[in-house]
Structure 1
Amino acid sequence: MNNEVLLTRPSWIEIDLKAVQFNAKSILKHTDAQRLIAVVKANAYGHGAIKVAQALYDIGVRDFAVATIAEGIELRSALYYENVKIILLGVQDVNQIHEIIKYRLSPAVESVDWLDQALHGMNDSEILNVEIAVDTGMGRMGAHSKQALQDVYDKVKESSLLQLTGVFTHFATADDNNQSYYMKQLKLFEEWVESADIPKKYWHLANSGSSLWHYREINTQTIRVGSVLYGFNPGAPLLKMPIKLHSVLTLKSKIGAVHKLQTGESVSYGATYTAQEPQWVATLPIGYADGYLRRMAGMKVLIDGQIATVVGRITMDQLVIAMDRYHPIDTEVTLIGKSGNKEISIEEFSSYARTIPHEIVTSLSSRLPRVYIK
């Protein structure tokens, strides 16, 4: 562990890169896929896009997906190899077409109009790689009908400046129990893409949910996954994991102050917690500005494999825990992850927060140092 990093902030995140690699290999084996597109948008779901992508590159992954042009440029600066493809998911500003081409990014496109504007701004020496997005029911972006898809594909084929690199859709209910809606989307994608005669080598429609629970129903030659790489269940709590994944992220802090509350004494804003008897409490230098949400009061933490509890209101930079005995300053505390034979999983943490793991990990702020374990 890099103690110089920890000295700047005694609250930090540990990222297990071998766990990322294990999870990638596991989902490839589970689906019998030949190719994996690793979704590393939002700084690899808060885990660190460059470090995660480099770890995946080391085991043979050559395809990555981000959300924005800025994310794509940052990733390309680290993965400059010719054999690495970076897909831009979502809507992109066509006025940035030269930046997209310069950094060899492959934008998702949905319409002939967008392509016409892009071509108008390009010169004859430029080639734009495109991913055709198909909206089969997510309702956000993509060709919205069989004819719209055909028109976009025809436009790509007729221009020498455009190169098709993929065609995809995104499932709205692959990670819950709404199977009828999932099958409706799948049927539409297959019908529209086959009608347009787009070769299967370009297809990628298996996100984490469909790769985990629907891999027998769809084409999984190429899978496009995010949450699976980071070791959490995208279908929690409705669906159980069909494969074993390794936890990637651990959130830790250290006790910065400790004292004994006397009966009747309170802590933090609003005096919402009052000791009913003498009680050891400790302050941790982490709060909602770090992504430890204000509503997490009452959540457990782990000290030496034993449970302590967050009490009082969580503030911007600090929180307080109640302990069953004295622990000295600098004692390590686990807020997400394993300690001894106990674990606070990201699924348990997000359930307590009344949200999903995706929101938790992407909310952990940049002022929490990331420490990478290889």
Structure 2
Amino acid sequence: MIKENDLLLTRPSWITVNLDAIKQNAQTMLKYTGAKRLIGVVKANAYGHGDLAVSEALYEVGVHDFAVATIDEGVTLRQSFINKDVRIILLGVQDVSQVSVMVSNQLEPAVGTLKWLQEAVSMIPAGENLALQLAVDTGMGRMGVNSESELKRLYEFINANDKLLLSGVFTHFATADDGNQNYYHSQVQKFNKWVQAVGIPRKFWHLANSGSALWHTREIDTNTIRVGSVLYGFNPGAPLLSLPMALKPALTLKSKIGSVHQLQAGESVSYGATYTAQVPQWVATLPIGYADGYLRRMTGMKVLVDGHIEHVIGRVTMDQIVITLAHQYPVGQEVTLIGRDGDEEITIEDFAHYADTIPHEIVTIFGSRLPRVYE
């Protein structure tokens, strides 16, 4: 695991991840919802925070269930927890031809068709079994059974085959983190009606994604919550909904000034010469660009230098950005792109709002050229 004081920053732009913040957020959500079990969603490299480091930190506070999107993510995680009691759920649609990989790595695929189950049974080695998550499509429209009768067929098929084990049943809410409450309630009603009619015990249910755990905890079963964004301390409902409790942001994005010079009046910076100085002014170049996930459309975004606000000027390029300076600063001066500096703060929600997107896209788009440093 990289520690900040051990890191040789040959290109000084990096992400710092506060693992204690992630632990604290998990405990906050368990207390707030009254849940007995938390499934930590660590897909997409733990939303850009680092799946292995995050999972190991969560394991330290009693989280033994994780969810990823792909088989590769699941295999990597299993290798990290090879001698520990950890369940790994595959949330996405999986190729049935990979059943042997799922069995050998104890991965639990989400299943939504009888055909998939029928093919899988013939591929499970003798004496082995495959644990399954039944996916119920109540309105997301991506995968899963979409009727009570279909759910019953799959449940009965699983119970009739000793190579198959039911490990969970879930649905995913399309509007848990926005204002469309009618649609949300229709999904809840479908799930409850179908699952209860089929007779799947409540111990298998997990409905509460981050949005549900935050804003609908009294409306659904929350004995088990399945959350991602709240672990990392950002608001999945931003900017429409406010958090009902405080979460601690885990990610900070920083860079260091690579060069400093003074623009004269009439001089321009970056491609297209879209910014021209009206008066003499100091500017600095930072070694970060859209190839790192600092989006091209972030021109004009604020950054923090020595506790005060500056701005990105000119076009964001592949590897560099240019920022304003109130006065001359030395090469190597630290600049905060996401995080706090003194009394000022730039949150992931601020960054996403400026980029006209959601926080999830921002944290998952930061690339591998940005080292993750763990506090």
Q: Which TM-score applies when normalising by structure 1? A: 0.99
Is 2:27 aligned against 1:25? yes
- Aligned equivalents of 2:231 and 2:4: distance in 1? 24
Q: What SS does structure 2 have at the residue aligned with 1:295?
A: helix
Alignment partner of 1:367 is 2:369 = yes
CA contact (8 A) 1:9 1:369 kept: no
Give the structure 2 partner of residue 147 of structure 1: 149
Please list the CA deviations of residues 316-365 of structure 1 after superposition, one character each: whole Å capped at 9, or x if unmatched: 00000011111110000000000011100000100000000000000000
**Shift of the alpha carbon at 1:3?**
3.9
Tell me the alpha carbon deviations over residues 232-289 of structure 1, each in whole angstroms, 9 at most, x when there is no partner: 0000111110011001000000000000000000000000000000010000000000
Correspondences of 1:247-266 after superposition (within 5 Å): 247-266=249-268
1:282 paired to 2:316: no
State the number of aligned residues.
373
Distance in 2 separating the partners of 1:307 and 1:86: 43
Equivalent pair of 1:110/1:143 in contact (CA under 8 Å)? yes
* Alignment partner, residue 238 of structure 2: 236
Deviation at 1:111, TM superposition (A): 1.1
Alignment of structure 1 residues 195-206 onto 2, 5 Å: 195-206=197-208
Shift of 1:123: 2.2
Counterpart of 1:167 (choices 136, 156, 169) is: 169
* 8 Å CA contact retained: 2:303, 2:336: yes
Alignment of 1:284-299 (within 5 A): 284-299=286-301
Instruction: State how 1:81-230 maps to structure 2 within 5 Å.
Output: 81-230=83-232
Whether the aligned pair in 1 keeps the contact of 2:100 and 2:125 (CA below 8 Å) is no
User: Which one of 328, 335, 338 corresponds to residue 336 of structure 1?
Assistant: 338
Residue 43 of structure 2 aligns with which residue?
A: 41
Distance in 2, matches of 1:9 and 1:262, equals: 28
Distance 1:153 1:327 in 2: 66
| CA deviation string 1:153-180 (max 9, x = no partner) | 1111000000110000000000001000
User: Which amino acid letter does the alignment assign opposite residue 63 of structure 2?
Assistant: V
Residue 317 of structure 2 aligns to a residue in which SS?
coil
2:9 counterpart SS class: helix
TM-fit CA distance, 1:186: 0.1
> Identity of paired residues, percent?
62
Structure 1 residue 4: deviation in Å?
A: 4.2
Please point out which of 313, 316, 322 is paired with 2:315. 313
Q: Distance in 1 between matches of 2:4 and 2:307?
A: 23
Q: Which moved more, 1:100-109 or 1:75-84?
A: 75-84
Shift of 1:120: 1.4
CA apart distance, 1:6: 4.1
Report the 3-state secondary structure (helix = DSSP H, G, I; strand = E; otherwise coil) of the residue aligned with 1:135.
coil
Q: Which runs of 4+ in 1 moved over 4 A?
A: none
- Cα distance, 1:90 vs structure 2: 1.3
Partner Cα separation in structure 2 for residue 327 and residue 29 of structure 1:
46
Shift of 1:7: 1.9
Measured after TM superposition, the shift of residue 8 of structure 1 is 2.7
What RMSD in Å do the two structures reach over aligned CA positions? 0.8
| Cα offset, 1:82, TM superposition | 4.3
- For 1:244, the aligned partner's letter is A
Unaligned runs of 5+ in 1: none
Counterpart of 1:54, as a letter, is E
Query: CA shift at 1:110, angstroms?
Result: 0.4
- Separation in 1, partners of 2:84, 2:310: 50
One-letter amino acid matched to 1:297: T
Contact 1:6 1:12 in 2 (8 A): no
Q: Check conservation: 1:6, 1:369, Cα contact below 8 A.
A: no
Equivalent position SS for 2:154: helix
Would you say the 8 A contact 1:14–1:372 is kept in 2?
A: yes
Name the structure 1 match of 2:12.
10
Q: For 2:41 and 2:276, how far apart are their aligned partners in 1?
A: 45
Aligned partner (choices 32, 56, 60) of residue 58 of structure 1? 60
Match of 2:77, SS state, is helix
Give secondary structure in 2 for the equivalent of 1:8: coil
Structure 2 stretches of 5 or more lacking a match?
none
2:175–2:184: 8 Å Cα contact kept in structure 1?
Answer: yes
| TM superposition score normalised by structure 2 | 0.98
Measure, in 2, the Cα distance between the counterparts of 1:285 and 1:242.
Answer: 37
Tell me the distance in 2 between the aligned counterparts of 1:123 and 1:43: 30
Check the 8 A contact 1:287/1:319 in 2, yes or no: yes
